[in-house]
Amino acid sequence: MEEAATIRAVAIDKTGTLTTGQLRLARVQILAHASEQWTTDQVLALAAGVHEFSEHPLAQATLRAARAQQIRPLSATDFHSVPGRGVRATVAGSEVQIGNSRYIENADAGALQAVDQLEQSGHTAVLLKHGSDILAVLAYADTLRPTAAAAVRQLRQLGVERVIMLTGDNEHVARSIAQQTGVDEYHAGLLPTDKMRTLQQLKRQYVKVAMVGDGVNDAPALAASSLGIAMGGAGTDVALETADVVLMADDLLNLPYVIALGRSARRTLLVNLGFALAMIAAMVASIFSLDLKLPYAVVGHEGGSVLVVLNGLRLLGFRPKPATGSAPSSNK
């Protein structure tokens, strides 16, 4: 709570924090050269088989889409995940990779063009590679949390100097979310280590920096921050274990509440310390100057302690002020 009271900048992960994290598989685009050998259902079964072992929001969206279409995932083995890049597994003796263009090697111009087009339309796009052949592009869509912009506004009202969005997603999606939420700046295409380095740079500039995240990719940044805050409802075990604070209600408005409560608690602490020391000084002075009897001094001291406790209990009824105004535009 003391760290929360002194925070000057807040870095927020995008997926699952500013957004709901409940992604949906919006499109399976089979590339032209593979369209005769593969159907959409076959590609989805292949992707679901690999994603069955992953906790990533994209993987969960793939599995939900497969269940909705009653498609059974293919059996996969030797699963391996590279945080911030992609996953791979063996299906029917062939290696299958699903990931971004930095993870999938030797992607041709047609595949990269399909990814770029889908990203420009606001989707998160990944490639699916079967053996040495890139078969399709999977496009995912996410939804902004209704309270995201209000949470950013409240952070500014509390005096937070900078609100920064960190994401491993592409530039187009990051810019769109940043404009809708009103964050001061954003950093896109980050790996977990990139997020950690960005946090370290922010700490050199602002000293006290909070990091808010929910996924495995956020764990290094949560550990590097002055105050790690995890979204409890959507958070992974690693993020919850690494964080200093967990927002159990999974409501982003609890983020400014934590900062406001920390500052109120700090003010109350300083008032209580000042009052207690003043009471002690007054009792000691009264004993020597007014010949105050020791029992009365003890009663006065204990009475002061009761007042300190009662003042501290006021925090139980703490309620932050509602946010007002609109969020400004964002810069990278």
Q: Are strands 133-141 and 24-30 parallel, antiparallel or unpaired?
A: antiparallel
Q: What share of the chain in percent tops pLDDT 70?
A: 94
Give tens-digit pLDDT for 107-158.
888 899 999 999 988 899 999 999 999 999 999 999 899 999 999 999 999 9
Collapse the DSSP code of 114 into the 3-class scheme (helix H, G, I; strand E, B; otherwise coil) and give the result: helix
Report residue 196 as tokens. 């950690």
Give residue for tokens 């009663």: 299
Q: Domain spanning 24-141 has what CATH number? A: 3.40.1110.10
The ranges assigned to domains in the chain are 1-17+145-332, 24-141
Collapse the DSSP code of 100 into the 3-class scheme (helix H, G, I; strand E, B; otherwise coil) and give the result: coil
CA angle 9, 18, 201 (to 5 degrees): 30
Identify whether the C-beta of residue 232 lies closer than 8 Å to the C-beta of residue 246: yes
Active site residue 142: no
Distance CA 170, CA 188 (A): 6
Distance CA 188, CA 180 (A): 15
Give tens-digit pLDDT for 224-282.
999 999 887 655 677 678 888 888 877 899 999 999 999 999 999 999 999 988 888 88
Query: For the CA atoms of 258, 261, 266, 268, what is the dihedral angle to 10 degrees?
Result: -170
Report residue 197 as tokens. 């380095």
Report residue 179 as tokens. 């404009």
Q: How far is residue 191 from each of residues 84, 166, 217, measured CA to CA in Å?
A: 5, 10, 7
Q: Domain spanning 1-17+145-332 has what CATH number? A: 3.40.50.1000
Number of Cβ within a 10 Å radius of residue 296: 13
Phi-psi region of 304 (alpha: psi -120 to 50; beta: other; left: phi over 0): alpha
Give tens-digit pLDDT for 88-104.
999 999 999 999 988 89
Q: Which of 13, 184, 218, 250 is catalytic?
A: 13
* DSSP state, residue 1: -
Helix runs in 39-190, H state only: 40-51, 57-68, 109-120, 148-157, 171-181
